[in-house]
Amino acid sequence: MELKVSTRSHAGCAVVAVTGEIDLYTAPHLQSEFTRLLQEGPSRVVIDMSAVDFCDSTGMNVLLSALKRMKEQGGTLEVAAPRPAVRKILQVTGLDSVFTVHDEVPQEILITEGS
**Residue 44 domain-assigned (yes or no):** yes
Q: What is the pLDDT of residue 115?
A: 43
Specify if 113 maps to a domain.
no
CATH code (residue 13) = 3.30.750.24
Q: Establish if 115 belongs to a structural domain.
A: no
Is 112 part of any domain? no
d(CA 59, CA 52): 11
**Per-residue pLDDT reduced to its tens digit, 57-101:** 999 999 999 999 999 999 999 999 999 999 999 999 999 999 999
Domain housing 69: 3-107
What is d(CA 95, CA 59) in angstroms, rounded to the nearest whole number? Answer: 12
Q: Model pTM? A: 0.92
Of 81, 64, 68, 75, the closest CA to residue 30 belongs to: 64
For residue 110, is pLDDT > 80? no
Q: What's the confidence (pLDDT) of residue 112?
A: 55
Tell whether the model's pLDDT for residue 12 goes beyond 80: yes
| Number of structural domains the chain divides into | 1
80 falls within a domain: yes
